[in-house]
Structure 1
């Protein structure tokens, strides 16, 4: 009985979320068309920032002074900081554990104190002439619009990256404030989104957006020379359809080793996770947004697995197909039956699987590093000399 009620609540939650997201998308798409807005081209962004910051002195790679503002949950520090340090000296502000933005008193006091501390840090660096560009990974849950306004008022370019616009560009509202990007995005100089269809939303809200997918850090995500002792694996949290799909594969005679929070095996360390990508003949991925049908988004795993030299089989996604060639650099599936079919096929065709794995690794290393992403952003902002 309790399981049935739990499943019913889950279905209702998903239905409500689907309705909310489709309504939100239609609202922004309609306004974008009505106002005759246009997403800026890359060449236009270069020109815009050249005029916005006419006195900025471009610096060579390795000479920038960067303030990086983001919390570390599980991947951020290892992926982002080493890549940023290739461009120069990095000051990293992570408010955890001093402030807990998931705590009960976040809205009643901690958020204000954290925001004040961040403003103080920026003011201090600016007064010392010790910052050339500010990179943030923030949302409305974490900062007030006024905080972003203050940070961006010093003539120092501020770029914010947000990787969950597909689902929470607006998000939940607390005290009438959107927890996503809606209320704060217009105050950043540049908004980096990994969701292509969020570009219209940013434009409607008066922001300047750029679409760039996630990346991976080859210093961390690299191939290991280990025995391939695992046929099929999945690394990620246990939620939504994932346990059901894993169970259905087991019923078809396909053993899947699953790791992450919620699975019996538990999570892996970063090194163990990357080694698992090499140990596995097939690394399975899920591209859906919170179990929403026909709604997909890019995942960090989409780049980390190929960068780690793993063979990657994930859900079909138009955006991912512009990053890797399906069937040549990665493999994709559209439904459960195709997943079963392709797992069975590639387990029997070692040479073809190896060739796809090799091409995926080469593409990831050439085009999809975090360093490449930052290089493009800093060049567009006008703080980095182009090679």
Structure 2
């Protein structure tokens, strides 16, 4: 198979130095023996301006999307003429290109496939473009009917992890409870419940560490400089700075001990943290939906990368997790802050039980929840030979 690949490397515009999607999607496709042609274009600014609901983003999209579309079609045609392309694989929003551009790719006889994993609360970002693809790979089972309702062809493909990247390290487990990820929603409340119970917890990620005290990231200035206009930062760039470095409000509201707060980790540092922690935490709620009568919970990349990296993984319960792990035997779930605190204390004092669950979770992840396996099954359902 020959595949034209178009995706930003990072899964989070606030972490432009991360290579999460490259490590998981690109490298896993390559592991299957697929010949990959990479789209030679900087997609990162489009991730920063992905939501046209903000006026400054709409302006950016209208100005820059035609250039992306032109280069995309130009490079696909050139590659296809040189040697036929079988599949166009993207992680695109409507901000990247219009539906008619995807249809032009299909008209070349190329199967078009889009992967997108934030439809749980941001379906509007792909609602217009999704019907143009031959297949939309969708990890949110409850969103499948929404895709069909707009005329798209969804294929349920749950998230996974790449075992060549996510793996255990022989390191001392020096931390009791850790979480690596962005500060938002009710995450701080849950972590505060652990602290109140007398359990030592450490966190790393955008928004946790007081403003001005984050570790420097070399790529930050380069990436935010693209959003400079008339000597002032656009609102999109301002939001990005707040995401990475926090704000004074975040600093004053923080109830966690200052020594427990850390800035963003590199991909490798995060993976190693799973081997340095006795308990690694995960959260299932999306955005601020916990404040509503119908909070949105979703299975996340973390739910597979943590066990695969050798973590004892404790995550907020949602029923879909039971399809992928034996709860209580391969991973542990909590239902609220008190339950989280009680289980953290219990498993910290029951090392042999914790170790048994950790090893079982690792085996399940590497045997069943790899991207290589997910992609193989997806292409088989599409009728595409690898």
Indicate the TM-score class for this superposition, using the shorter chain for normalisation: 0.7 to 0.9
TM-score, length basis structure 1? 0.78
* 1:169-208, Cα deviation, whole Å (9 max, x unpaired): 12xxxxxxxxx22111111111110100111011111121
Structure-2 change in CA distance of 1:237 and 1:98 (3 Å): closer
* Mapped pair 1:106 → 2:60: yes
* 1:346-378, Cα deviation, whole Å (9 max, x unpaired): 101111111111111111101111111111122
SS in 2 for 1:326: coil
Other-structure match for 2:282: 285
Give distance in 2, aligned partners of 1:298 and 1:249.
Answer: 23
Give distance in 2, aligned partners of 1:337 and 1:240.
Answer: 17
Aligned length: 313
Other-structure match for 1:223: 168
Structure 1 residue 97, shift from structure 2 partner: 6.1
SS in 1 for 2:265: coil
Structure-2 change in CA distance of 1:159 and 1:100 (3 Å): closer
SS in 2 for 1:289: coil
TM-score, length basis structure 2? 0.78
Note if contact 1:144-1:184 (Cα within 8 Å) is conserved in structure 2.
yes
Give distance in 2, aligned partners of 1:140 and 1:100.
Answer: 10
Other-structure match for 2:121: 167
Give distance in 2, aligned partners of 1:241 and 1:141.
Answer: 29
Unaligned runs of 5+ in 2: 11-17, 50-55, 210-261
Structure 1 residue 380, shift from structure 2 partner: 2.1
Q: More displaced, 284-293 or 356-365?
A: 284-293
**Over 6 Å off, 4+ runs:** none
Structure-2 change in CA distance of 1:108 and 1:206 (3 Å): closer
Structure 1 residue 291, shift from structure 2 partner: 3.1
Note if contact 1:101-1:110 (Cα within 8 Å) is conserved in structure 2.
no
SS in 2 for 1:295: coil
* Mapped pair 1:199 → 2:200: no
Give distance in 2, aligned partners of 1:290 and 1:94.
Answer: 32
SS in 2 for 1:274: helix
Structure 1 residue 130, shift from structure 2 partner: 3.7
Structure 1 residue 85, shift from structure 2 partner: 0.8
Structure 1 residue 76, shift from structure 2 partner: 1.0
Other-structure match for 2:86: 132
Give distance in 1, aligned partners of 2:346 and 2:156.
Answer: 35
CA RMSD after TM alignment: 1.6
SS in 2 for 1:248: helix
Structure 1 residue 98, shift from structure 2 partner: 8.0
Unaligned runs of 5+ in 1: 1-63, 171-179
